[in-house]
Amino acid sequence: MQCYGGCQCGAVRFVCDIDPERASICHCRMCQKAFGNVFAPLVSVREGTLRWTKAEPKRFQSSNVVKRGFCPDCGTPLTYEAPDGIAIAIGALDDPSIAPPVIQYGTEAEIPFVASLHTLPHRSTMEDLPAAPFLRDIVSYQHPDRPEKGESQGGGKELNTHQFE
């Protein structure tokens, strides 16, 4: 399934084919740190289909076999790059709903409260009445969730999945 995505500020953009049956959540401590979150939602990219259409991510070698790609400007986590393939952060997709996770990994490191998140009260953003005046005045500088002009032509640089230093 072809999809588009990028970072929060729009400096890094991509197009790729994902494998929705290989969408996952990883709870390992390395993924928690890389995402600055309690887990990392990722979806596998079909080999040879990831193309950077606007800039490229900076990479951090997080282990002897894995690199993590992120926007050098805004810090958005973008890729998990291993010798057996690449995964994209589900939240970096323009439409993250196309990749619902089907499995969880690294559950030995799952933060205990994660299992009960669904039991917490739910509110829409503007239902937080004390914060409404602040929220009303926010002007978003986030890149819109849609391809940029020219992205659909498949331009850009392909990431070699076996290029590990």
In a domain, 135, yes or no: yes
Q: Indicate the residue type of 107.
A: T
The model carries a pTM of 0.85
Asked if 32 contacts 109 with a C-beta cutoff of 8 angstroms, the reply is yes
CA 139, distance to chain mean position in Å, is: 23
Residues above pLDDT 90, as percent of the chain: 74
Distances 136 to 20, 130, 140 between C-alpha atoms, Å: 36, 11, 11
Q: Find the CATH number of the domain harbouring 130.
A: 2.170.150.70
CA 64, distance to chain mean position in Å, is: 22
In a domain, 25, yes or no: yes
In a domain, 141, yes or no: yes
d(CA 165, CA 74): 25
In a domain, 139, yes or no: yes
Which domain, by its residues, includes 32?
2-158
In a domain, 163, yes or no: no
Tell me the per-residue pLDDT of 60-109, one tens digit each, with 9 for 90 and over: 999 999 999 999 999 999 999 999 999 999 999 999 999 999 999 999 99
Whether the pLDDT of residue 144 is over 80: the answer is yes
In a domain, 164, yes or no: no
Domain total for the chain? 1
In a domain, 52, yes or no: yes
In a domain, 165, yes or no: no
**For the residues 43-68, what does the mean pLDDT come to?**
97
β-strands 103-105, 13-26 pairing: parallel
Tell me the per-residue pLDDT of 129-140, one tens digit each, with 9 for 90 and over: 888 888 888 888
